[in-house]
Amino acid sequence: MKVLVPVKRVIDYNVKVRVKADQSGVDLANVKMSMNPFDEIAVEEAVRLKEKGKATEVVVVSIGPQQASETIRTALAMGADRGILVKSDGAVEPLAVAKILKAIVDAEQPQLVITGKQAIDDDANQVGQMLAALLGWPQGTFAHALELGDDTAKITREIDGGLQMVEVKLPAVMTTDLRLNEPRYASLPNIMKAKKKPIEEKTPADFGVDVTPRFKVLKVAEPPKRAAGAKVASVSELLDKLKADGVI
Amino acid sequence: MASLVIAEHDNVSLKDATHKSVTAAAAVSSPVHILVAGENCAAVADAAAKIAGVGKVLLADSALYARMLAEPMEVLILSLADSYDAILAPATTTGKNILPRVAAKLDTPQISEILKVISPDTFERPIYAGNAVETLQAPEGKKIITVRTTAFKAAVEGGSAVIEKISAASDPGLSKFVSEALSKSERPELTSAKTIVSAGRGLGSGENFKLLDSIADKLHAAIGASRAAVDAGYAPNDYQVGQTGKVVAPELYIAVGISGAIQHLAGMKASRVIVAINKDEEAPIFQVADYGLVADLFKTLPEIDEELSKRGYK
């Protein structure tokens, strides 16, 4: 079975995000970029399926600027087989991403799509679900564990209050939560090998998808700041303060 | 026209997240209708009908919706969508699972986790784990929205809306529920608790989480954990407070042995009063805390417990 893994190039999760002074967005100049951490988990899961003999090929897709090919290379170094870069310089909204991915799924015919539950830049948490709907496929979002059968998959999901297992017919879309696995570091030999793996370049127009943003971003601002309060010297002083604030 | 709120419930009781979403919905388009989809959930519909400002409750009572799986819920909501200019759901794991499917099928972009309704087509929402707030204007047409419930006040009771039973939509037959493992707890739920006692890796072991129990009992608090504590296996994953876990905004948040990683702060910094207890006085958590106590938690927790007992908390 073929597995398709969409990955996004985002600001590295360790970088402190700074809002631009003119409130037009977030400052991305000279900032370290990496693969969206949830997508890394998706790549790892797909590669493990291949290592277990359950997946025959792992295809990685990224939609973004030319540099997103580096993100694809990272996935190839982890063990994915080939990549598709859909080049787009501006931000592509989740619905447009889902439309491009649908066209790729139609062409590639994977049995399983695994992607992160959300990207840590726009925090939208939409693409997997939207793709599943456009394809008329079932979904297992926020995956904690996967048992892949021949025609079905049992997916344990992280839900508010605990875990829920659903069984979905294949083909299906799965989105990853944090504890599905721990992604590996690519070894140097695998990084070298990944340089020879093929990356096909496409544009949204190749798939007939218009990526013009439909939202107008009016501004991007800093969240309201919380001022640091005071240190207290003892438990008793702490409880007095909390009592005075009416919270205990 | 009107707005439709997808009710959050467990077939027995209506969750507070619904009341908060009603508040957001009323600011987008009135009247507000509520869809209660579930199995043997008439009591939930009755509760929804009592929310002030709700014009109508639609009740789809069928085994098909017992677990509100995304695939059948998509079909049901789409069958109702024509009558509404806004469809909202709380940004719970249920709402986040379902609503993007509806948006995609309607070819409408979704606005996730709104913090504020500025006007019926303009919203604030957090990006970059809450390190920035984006103000977005949505295109004309239907608005598909999930609601960051901690950012809205709950709609009050006092209404008496009609309950209209609707039949189940078709079953797409793509998915089925297998099993569920919910953490059993007498404590309030994290996302609706007024007080939360939360601990981090500083606690050192899962066993030590018991040190929080007695204090949480006395304060009627929920217990939370940092991602580090969950990753270390000290606490189950549904305890996790933070950008990738639950976003909370209680009246009182007590962070014990939590250093205050950005991820964690994003999930709790909207709390009204924050207390930090940490032996490292440089810990970033102190930068957002109203009251900081630099102390060893193993000494401090029993002391708090004892002091609360002395003051008559049981």
Residue environment code for A203-233, b if the CB has 16+ CB neighbours within 10 A, otherwise e: ebeebebebeebeeebebeebeeeebbeebe
B220 in A contact zone (CB under 8 Å): no
Q: What is the ipTM of this complex?
A: 0.95
Report the length, in residues, of chain B. Answer: 314
What pLDDT score was predicted for residue A51? 98
Q: Which of B221, B200, B161, B185 has its CA nearest to residue B279?
A: B200
Whether omega before A189 lies within 30 degrees of 0, making that bond cis, reads no
Number of other CB atoms surrounding residue A148 within 10 Å: 20
| Beta carbons of A124 and B104 less than 8 Å apart | no
CATH code, A2-244: 3.40.50.620
The 10s digit of each residue's pLDDT in B193-205 is: 999 999 999 999 9
Q: Is B184 a residue whose pLDDT tops 80? A: no
DSSP H or E run through B27: helix B16-28
B300 in A contact zone (CB under 8 Å): yes
| Beta carbons of A238 and B71 less than 8 Å apart | no
Domain B190-310 CATH superfamily: TPP-binding domain (3.40.50.1220)
pTM to 2 decimals? 0.94
Q: Is A103 a residue whose pLDDT tops 80? A: yes
Question: Which residues from chain A sit within 8 angstroms of residue B89, using beta carbons?
Answer: none
| Beta carbons of A164 and B174 less than 8 Å apart | no
| Beta carbons of A163 and B251 less than 8 Å apart | no
CA distance A13 to chain B (A): 9
* B67, B93, B109 ranked by CB distance to A95: nearest: B109
The 10s digit of each residue's pLDDT in B226-281 is: 999 999 999 988 899 998 788 899 999 999 999 999 889 989 998 999 999 999 99
Number of other CB atoms surrounding residue A3 within 10 Å: 28
Domain borders along chain B are 3-165, 190-310
| Beta carbons of B246 and A160 less than 8 Å apart | yes
Q: Which pLDDT band holds residue A225 (cuts at 50, 70, 90)?
A: confident
* A139, A163, A239 ranked by CB distance to B70: nearest: A139
Q: Is A14 a residue whose pLDDT tops 90? A: no
Q: Which CATH architecture has domain B3-165?
A: 3-Layer(aba) Sandwich (3.40)
Residue of A nearest to B115 (CA): A223
For residue B292, give the DSSP letter. Answer: E
Q: Which pLDDT band holds residue B192 (cuts at 50, 70, 90)?
A: confident
Angle between helices B297-310 and A235-244 (to 10 degrees): 50
Chain B, window 15-44: residues with a beta carbon less than 8 angstroms from a chain A beta carbon: none
* A93, A125, A133 ranked by CB distance to B105: nearest: A133
CA distance B58 to chain A (A): 24
Please give the interface size between A and B, counted as residue pairs whose CB atoms are below 8 Å apart: 243
Best mutation target among A99, A117, A139 (most B Cβ atoms within 10 Å) is A139
Best mutation target among B97, B136, B297 (most A Cβ atoms within 10 Å) is B97
